[in-house]
Homo-oligomer: A and B are copies of this chain.
Amino acid sequence: MTVIADDWLSMLVDEVRPHLADGAVSTYLPGLRRACGEELAVAVDHGDGRLFTAGNHHARFTIQSVVKVFTLLLALHHRGEDYVFGRVGRDQGIGSYNSLETFVRESGVPVNPFVNAGALVVVDMLPGDGPDGRVEEVVEFVRAVTGNPGVAVNDGMARSELELADRNRALGYFLRSRGLLTTDVEELLSAYCRMCAIEVDVVDLARAGRVLAQGADVEVMGRRLQASHVRSVRRLMLFAGMYEESGQYACEVGIPAKCGISGAMIGVVPGRSGVGIYGPALDGSANSIGGVRLMRLLAQELEIE
């Protein structure tokens, strides 16, 4: 970890910070509402022992939709591409992440694994002894890819998320009415809300991102994740990870990434680095203002294809 690199990251953060005022923290959950819109932290893990940070990298926050990256990877590992992409699409989609338009018309299949409906189907595929087993599986996986055994669910956040999950409940019951879920909807939602409430910091996300950056098979928790599965996840992140702004992001930035409503953001520079960001000030499409701007600056510096 060189001081120079930290300085350079700090410069990027300073450049982005004035734009945070254009956004607002999510009011979706009481726990999110308490976040400070002026926070902006970033970590970059280059995978050779060099890990740089800037901003308050000790801030902990819930992972929210970033967990969809990990649930997808687990589902691919356990079920294979044919099974997984038989049950969720690989389209960018239109409409917001929790809208009724994120189903592929006619079929009822969710457009991709990163919209809420798709994430529910993916969680439905995970192995595990009931919903608790699935949550444990995902938490263990996040601990392993972050290298942080202290990663845990914020139970209060999970509970309040479950209480306010009516839109996701609607998506779940719609999927179930189409025969697209095997799990009880309430159990599935409970598991999903706990997965979303896993607490991490930017260093955790950067380390997990660095694991996802590898081109070869990856050993995680004694499992061998196939390089092709990790690559599929990266590709989907590239063009479907930023809600309604996914297309613009893919064109302008080009670093595969996934954001969450807490302001969490993970980025993956293939073959090189992992990026973790926390920037709770969101734009109108629920993307982290600071996160997207930092990724853009990083992409320019790193000359991302």
Contact = CB atoms under 8 A, between A and B. Distances in A.
Given A239-B92, A240-B247, A254-B235, A173 B177 contact: no
Contact of A174 (B167, B240, B247, B254): B167
Given A166-B173, A173-B166, A247 B305 contact: no
Interface residues of A, number: 42
Interface string A279-298: 00000000000000000000
A77 interface: no
A193 interface: no
Contacts of A250: 90, 235, 238-239
Contact of A100 (B100, B235, B239): B100
A248 B90 CA distance: 6
A112 B92 CA distance: 13
A60 interface: no
A17 interface: no
A123 interface: no
A305 B270 contact: yes
Contact of A251 (B166, B235, B248, B254): B235
A236 to B, nearest CB: 6
A170 interface: yes
A170 B166 contact: no
27 contacts: A90-B248, A90-B250, A90-B251, A91-B92, A91-B247, A92-B93, A93-B94, A94-B94, A100-B100, A100-B103, A166-B174, A166-B177, A166-B185, A167-B173, A167-B177, A169-B177, A169-B185, A170-B172, A170-B173, A170-B176, A232-B251, A235-B250, A235-B251, A238-B238, A239-B247, A270-B305, A271-B305
